[in-house]
Amino acid sequence: MLRTTLLSILVGLLALAALPVGADGPAFDDVTTTVDGTSVDVSGTATFALAEGPFDVGGSVTDFASTELGSPLGINLQSASVDVREDGVEFVWQLEELGEVPPEGVRYTWAFTAGGQSLQLQAKRSNLASVTTAEDPVGHVNQAASGEDWFQLRGACQESYQGTPVSGCYHLAFLDGAFDDDANTVTMFMPFGTRDGIDRVVAAGFQPGTLIAPEETAGSSITATVQAGVSTTSTESYINGWDAFYAGRTVQAFVGRADTATPSFGQEWTVLDLDDDGTFSGTVDGVGGDRDTLHLRACATNAPCATASVSLR
């Protein structure tokens, strides 16, 4: 056992020595492994560059068919950005002009996946004339009584919502947000482990370090749209193909072949325990046969991931 451990440390350090170190992304140090049957215990330290406030997620903007009409309606979308914080993520829509967003008729959405869940953010001045009212009548009445704007988390999106010929998502929870007329932005904050009005976790996959990836609903992902009964790409400006990002820091691993640094079919990255100081540890299964290499990656927000491979022979 000791010989295996020492050999793993030596090989791991040789592999890690080639990794770039600097402010552009994470880096590994002091990685140790101990094989026990078909599993391997791994520990080490990952150094992460500090995230510096909001960053643009990129993507391709498709304008509303009539930009002259879109501007006073507040639906000429310019860009989108996120700010990853310790307790969650703030999502920001940047508009050419926000102005007086009419109630019910205009909405802003952002569809994505997190931890295997399909989720959608929706911001509106009011949302009583909606099918989601029937899903949560008490919550919607209370929200209307508060006099505040409507910032909703929706999920379980379907191309045929409740058997209808249109796509839609189910209401999960109300979130905090803001319409900023001076900055021409719409913002929504989604906390990690979001809970609904009766304290049930409704977004278990949305956790620190989770990969947030684009998803399209009715052909678009980030939208500013006129909601004339049914929203389509012809009634909105939208952004598709934006860059996935990590909701904070994460260190992950899997056991595979030496020449394949991507999990094979049926495999997944194992998320390792990660402390505030960057030390990580965990146990990864799958050792055996030609699966004799531990592959590691450390990722943070939108920085390039650091990767390393450690031989377990």
In-domain check, residue 193: yes
In-domain check, residue 46: no
* Mean pLDDT, range 235-253, rounded to an integer: 95
Looking at the structure of the chain, the number of domains it has is 1
Return d(Cα 186, Cα 151) in angstroms, integer: 10
In-domain check, residue 75: yes
Helix (H) / strand (E) element for 66: namely none
Cα 35–chain centre separation: 33
Summarize pLDDT for 211-224 with one digit per residue, the tens. Answer: 999 999 888 999 99
In-domain check, residue 29: no
Please enumerate in sequence order all residues whose Cβ is within 8 A of that of 168, keeping only pairs 6 or more positions apart, or say none: 131, 157, 158, 161, 162
Tally DSSP H helices, then E strands, for the chain: 4, 22
Determine which of 32-41, 87-96, 149-158, 273-282 has the lowest per-residue pLDDT on average.
149-158
Higher pLDDT, 212 or 147: 212
* Mean pLDDT, range 106-127, rounded to an integer: 90
Return d(Cα 119, Cα 123) in angstroms, integer: 14
Summarize pLDDT for 173-205 with one digit per residue, the tens. Answer: 999 999 999 999 999 999 999 998 888 999 999
* Mean pLDDT, range 36-54, rounded to an integer: 90
In-domain check, residue 196: yes
pLDDT tops 70 at residue 99: yes
pLDDT tops 50 at residue 57: yes
| pLDDT for the residue numbered 38 | 96
Determine which of 9-23, 120-134, 227-241, 284-298 has the lowest per-residue pLDDT on average.
9-23
Return d(Cα 281, Cα 272) in angstroms, integer: 6
| pLDDT for the residue numbered 73 | 83
Return d(Cα 39, Cα 312) in angstroms, integer: 10
In-domain check, residue 260: no
One-letter amino acid of 191: P
pTM over 0.75: yes
Which residue reads 């020492």 in tokens?
6
In-domain check, residue 36: no
CA nearest 113: which of 215, 247, 228, 216? 215
One-letter amino acid of 78: Q
The string of DSSP codes covering 145-213 is HHT--EEEEEEEEESSGGGSSS-EEEEEEE-EEEEETTTTEEEEEEETT-B-TTS-BS-TT--TT-EEE
The vertex-14 CA angle with 8 and 15, nearest 5°, equals 90
| Host domain of residue 171 | 55-246
| pLDDT for the residue numbered 89 | 97
Percentage of the chain modeled with pLDDT above 70:
77
Return d(Cα 97, Cα 100) in angstroms, integer: 9
In-domain check, residue 271: no
